[in-house]
Chains A and B, each alone.
Chain A
Amino acid sequence: MFGTLSYNKQKTIIIVSFLLIPLLLLATFTYYPAIKLIYYSFTDWDGYSPEKPWVGLANYREVFSNPDIFKVFTHNFAYFVMGLVQNIVAIYFAVVLNSKLRGRNGFRIMLFLPYIMNGVAVAFMFGYVFDTTNGSLNLFLNNIGLHQLAQTSWLGTEGLVNYSLASTGFWRFMGYNMVIYIASLQAIPRDIYEAAKIDGAGSFQTLWRVTLPNMKAVIQLNLFLTVTGALEVFDLPFVLTKGGPAGASQTYVQRVVDTAFAFNNYGLASAMSIILLFFVVIVLLVQQLVLNRGGDK
């Protein structure tokens, strides 16, 4: 029956029927919440009462003037620092594992392994590793003679806890970055290397002048993901430390979730979400700008 219709009619039917549900889902779970969020951010809604009192910009003023809220971003900073280190290490291993090497595949498989592991299980696993008195990390440090360091309370010290948590993220995601960098390395044409060799470039020169410039787009993509990832950290500190000690490891998203669901302040939480969304878009724009300028050269 359907096949007897003209191709133009078929086309219209296919377009409408194939897009209907997917677009409905897209609208319901991506765009509608985004619009709702903007609306909530101007109200004083508590999450259940039918009235949503309009308060104008008060929530935004609160976020920017309450140093307590913005200070939380300094906790996210640790994830950004570790993310940068993670990318550098990932590029290093990618370059190494792209060269001639015995057991190359085996090393790749091992280094990528943490990425597929369950995040909550990994978090608890590190909770045990980081434990001050029974933890394997301190035991290990003691065994190799670093007795002073082996007394450290990795998750209980204010200045340290975020770096300890972020290093767990490093452990989990370094291999992921590495695999992406390896893929981008393999896309670099061989003859460029041959040309560099003929021109007498050393291995370091080749790395600096040929390999890294060719990986630029992927490095930038990963840096964007690092920055936004650092802004959006939630599960690790939530599972491992519940934000402690004394709120020292609470991240911005965790603060948003608490504000909404524990303190029933949906208005303020919405404004905080919008600000986070805004930051993500800014990071993307800045990166886009830098990328395009680099492309003009």
Chain B
Amino acid sequence: MAHTKFRFVDFIKYFSLLIGVFVVLFPPYVVVVNAFKSTDEFNSSSSMALPKSFLNFDNFVAVFQRGGLLSGFGNVLVIIIITLTLNILFGTMVAYVLGRFSFKMKPVVFGAYLVATIIPSITTQVATFGIIKNMGLYNTLGAPIVLYIGADVIQIILYLQFIRNIPVDLDESAMVEGASLFKIYRSIIFPLLTPATATLVILKTISIYNDMYIPYLYMPKQSLGVVTTVLMRFQGVNSGEWNLICAAILLILLPTVVLYFFLQRYIFEGVTSGAVK
């Protein structure tokens, strides 16, 4: 009796998991099969049917020629590289100061970072817009870069959590040997924060690559499109030509999905260490 009950529970488990996987894969499946269909084939076949050939790359070529997708990838790459470099630098610097020294203003600085996590940047956007305009950054790559660095304080909290686990003994023994505080930061703290940096790089890359709001609002200029805004424009011009749009969707999904299958273990770790305090 107990034996059969056990099996029934197992059946429910696997069945629900398979439904879950089906629900996850159904929309991407539809996109994949339609991205390889010519317009005629698309109009005459069911939207769930497999294409005649998975070697028909015409749609992808058309997307690259018409869509400005290459410059979209280029722009987002520039934004990601500059943002991440500065994020890592500033994040480790703040964590070093707040994690290692005590000084009068420390509670104030620390509090300022904590309170900032409650203010959703989407609510202050109306005022931020004016600031970006006054700084002359509107319609430049500088706008998303300063916003991704300045308005995101999660990275500081992340680094602060990690620096607590680095033993202070290390700093002290370096001081005994006469190392300067800057040298301690550079050759002890910074390298030991590498796991946190890896987490930051992965999560920030995904979130910047996927962000639509900031590029849409602050960089409407055609030549400054990133992948998300390029896709939006492309859909606007080609609405109805779903086989083309499917190809565009697939091209934009592909980089992160490939990255994900290589790095999934680190992504899981990053997500959990970033969210569970």
Residue positions of A touching B, CB distance < 8 A: 2-3, 5, 7, 10-11, 14-15, 18-19, 21-23, 25-26, 28-34, 36-37, 40, 47, 92-93, 96-97, 99, 101, 107-114, 116-122, 124-126, 128-129, 134-136, 139-140, 143, 171, 175-176, 179-180, 182-184, 187, 203, 218, 221, 228, 232, 234-235, 239, 253, 256-257, 260-261, 266, 269-270, 273-274, 276-277, 280-281, 284
Contacts and interface: CB of A to CB of B under 8 A. Distances in A.
B70 interface: no
B36 interface: no
Given A176-B271, A232-B122, A273-B125, A184 B101 contact: no
Interface stretch (B56-64, B126-134, B160-168, B193-201): B126-134
Contacts of B27: 122, 125-126, 129, 136, 171
Contacts of B175: 7
Contact of B116 (A30, A114, A140, A256): A30
A15 B101 contact: yes
Given A31-B116, A284-B118, A113 B253 contact: no
A122 to B, nearest CB: 8
Interface residues of B, number: 90
Contacts of B178: 3
A269 B93 CA distance: 36
Contact of A128 (B112, B156, B245): B245
A38 to B, nearest CB: 9
A31 B185 CA distance: 28
Contacts of A179: 268, 271-272
Interface in B235-277: 235, 242, 245-246, 249, 252-253, 256-257, 259-261, 264, 267-268, 271-272, 275-277
Nearest to A273: B123
B25 interface: yes
B215 to A, nearest CB: 10
Nearest to B269: A183
B78 interface: no
Given A37-B126, A96-B17, A234-B213, A277 B119 contact: yes
B257 to A, nearest CB: 7
A116 B17 contact: no
B179 to A, nearest CB: 7
A82 B205 CA distance: 27
A129 B242 CA distance: 11
Given A111-B21, A112-B268, A118-B209, A34 B124 contact: yes
A33 B256 contact: no
B242 A134 contact: yes
A116 B113 contact: no
A176 B26 CA distance: 19
B209 A136 contact: no
Contacts of B17: 93, 96-97, 107, 111
Contacts of B228: 118-121
Which of B149, B183, B271 has the most chain A CB atoms inside 10 A of its CB?
A: B271
A29 B27 CA distance: 37
Contacts of B276: 180, 183-184, 187, 218, 221
Nearest to B230: A120
Contact of A234 (B122, B130, B242, B261): B122
Nearest to B12: A96
Given A10-B181, A171-B24, A26 B116 contact: yes
B136 interface: no
Nearest to B96: A18
Given A37-B124, A118-B253, A180-B272, A28 B131 contact: yes
B48 A136 contact: yes
Contacts of A121: 228, 231, 249, 252-253
18 contacts: A26-B150, A30-B116, A93-B20, A111-B17, A116-B206, A117-B210, A119-B212, A121-B253, A124-B249, A125-B28, A128-B242, A128-B245, A136-B26, A171-B27, A179-B272, A187-B276, A232-B120, A280-B118
A99 B267 contact: no
Interface in B187-234: 206, 209-213, 217, 227-228, 231-232
B130 A101 contact: no
Contacts of A107: 17, 20-21
B44 interface: no
B46 interface: yes
Which 6 interchain pairs have the tightest Cβ spacing? Answer: A25-B150, A29-B150, A3-B180, A183-B272, A33-B127, A36-B127
Interface in B2-53: 9, 13-14, 16-17, 20-21, 23-28, 30-31, 34, 46-48
Given A15-B101, A125-B27, A118 B118 contact: no
A19 B13 CA distance: 51
Contacts of B90: 21-22, 25
A99 B13 CA distance: 10
B127 A26 contact: no
B170 interface: no
A286 B127 CA distance: 28
A26 B112 contact: yes
